[in-house]
């Protein structure tokens, strides 16, 4: 029989985190589902009626909010603390690296990297005291492959991968297992939020305008090839309940094909495919905007 655990999930007001929170609670675990939007937390609370799910406000970028959550978790669990921390909160800042503002880059790192670090550090003494605790960090296949227009986001997930690899060894002496969840395209609010982030670049006269315009097409393809969050939830359930959690969970497993391809196909070939797909060829840019500054000789398309 699976031992029931107390699990704190960040970013549980939507998408992957919300779906996993409900399923883990249905399976009998005590879930502390956190996020920023109170209305979404209230709706989650209503939907989870009959299970042991508590909601709590937690903004991972706000030190005071983290400190407050730590105290509330102590009280809620009568000092017993949590067994599992799932660092899921995050979003995707899209855009050509040249055009993403410093403020946008910082905000992206504040949430996806510094937020994850701050929450982990705050809850580590509690996890260590439990013994045999677990941490699951939600990365992305974009933490192992970089896509054009997603460089800023992908770099945060590369950081999450590296931090998790270090934590796995640093925390092993206390029996804390550290896993990474690497989702491929999953149907959540992620895609729309990412596209919102580049809407202001659409009507610019920047050299990337045609590429940004093409991002709509890419977003449709992303949407049509997306899987439901059931696939990430199955991986999270395994990471929580199995005797020995895996180091990396790629979900859906078909996303692993891309990782495998990037390992065996020469990088220049992969680059050529990605540039064609995103319209980042001199010919595609010239065709879409004849007067836009060229990125390279159009004969090289």
249 is catalytic: no
Contacting residues for 270 by C-beta, under 8 A, at least 6 apart = 261, 262
88 binds ligand NAP (CB under 6 A): yes
Q: Tabulate helix, strand, coil % of the chain (nearest 5).
A: 55, 10, 35
Q: What are the angstrom distances between the C-alpha of 71 and each of 68, 93, 95, 115?
A: 5, 32, 38, 18
Q: Identify residues 186-245 at the interface with ligand NAP (CB under 6 A).
A: 186, 188-190, 193
36 binds ligand NAP (CB under 6 A): yes
At residue 18, what are phi and psi to the nearest 5 degrees? -65, -45
93 binds ligand NAP (CB under 6 A): no
Taking CB under 6 A as the criterion, the residue among 7, 35, 240, 279 binding ligand NAP is: 35
- Cα–Cα distance measured from residue 150 to residue 143, given in angstroms and rounded to the nearest whole number: 11
Q: Take residue 219 and report the two structure tokens written for it.
A: 């977003």
Cβ 222 to ligand NAP, closest distance in Å? 7
140 binds ligand NAP (CB under 6 A): yes
155 binds ligand NAP (CB under 6 A): no
- Strands 134-138 and 84-87 turn out to be parallel
59 binds ligand NAP (CB under 6 A): yes
91 binds ligand NAP (CB under 6 A): yes
Cβ 84 to ligand NAP, closest distance in Å? 16
For ligand NAP, the closer of residues 226 and 281 by Cβ is 226
- Taking alpha carbons only, the member of 213, 243, 225 closest to residue 185 is 225
With CB under 6 A as the rule, give the number of residues binding ligand NAP: 32
What dihedral do alpha carbons 70, 76, 79, 83 form, nearest 10°? -70
Of the residues 91, 153, 208, 249, only one is catalytic, namely: 153
Strand partners, 251: 183
For ligand NAP, the closer of residues 87 and 278 by Cβ is 87
Window 239-278: contact mask with ligand NAP (x via CB under 6 A) = ----------------------------------------
DSSP state, 252? S
Residue ranges in contact with ligand NAP by CB under 6 A: 10-17, 35-37, 40, 58-61, 88-92, 111, 115, 138, 140, 183, 185-186, 188-190, 193
Q: What are the residue numbers of the active site?
A: 153
């Amino acid at each position: 029989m699976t031992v029931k655990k107390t699990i704190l999930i960040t970013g549980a007001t939507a998408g992957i985190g919300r779906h996993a929170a409900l399923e883990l609670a249905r399976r009998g675990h005590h879930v502390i589902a956190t996020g920023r939007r109170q209305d979404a937390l209230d709706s989650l609370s209503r939907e989870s009626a009959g299970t042991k799910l508590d909601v709590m406000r937690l903004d991972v970028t706000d030190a005071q909010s983290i400190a407050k959550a730590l105290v509330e978790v102590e009280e809620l669990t009568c000092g017993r603390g949590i067994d599992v921390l799932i660092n899921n909160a995050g979003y995707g800042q899209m855009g050509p690296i040249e055009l993403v503002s410093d403020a946008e880059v910082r905000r992206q790192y504040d949430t996806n990297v510094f937020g994850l670090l701050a929450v982990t550090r705050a809850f580590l003494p509690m996890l260590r005291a439990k013994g045999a605790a677990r941490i699951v960090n939600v990365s992305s296949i974009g933490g192992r492959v970089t896509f054009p227009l997603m460089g800023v986001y992908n770099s945060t997930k590369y950081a999450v991968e590296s931090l998790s690899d270090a934590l796995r060894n640093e925390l092993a002496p206390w029996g804390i297992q550290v896993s990474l969840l690497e989702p491929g395209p999953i149907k959540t609010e992620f895609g729309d939020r990412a596209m919102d982030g580049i809407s202001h670049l659409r009507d610019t006269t920047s050299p990337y305008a045609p590429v940004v315009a093409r991002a709509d097409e890419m977003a449709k393809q992303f949407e049509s090839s997306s899987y439901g969050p059931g696939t990430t939830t199955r991986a999270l359930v395994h990471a929580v309940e199995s005797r020995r959690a895996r180091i990396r969970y790629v979900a859906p497993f078909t996303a692993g094909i891309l990782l495998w391809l990037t390992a065996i196909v020469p990088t220049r070939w992969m680059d050529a495919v990605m540039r064609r797909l995103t319209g980042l060829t001199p010919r595609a840019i010239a065709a879409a905007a004849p007067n836009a500054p060229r990125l390279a000789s159009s004969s090289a398309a």
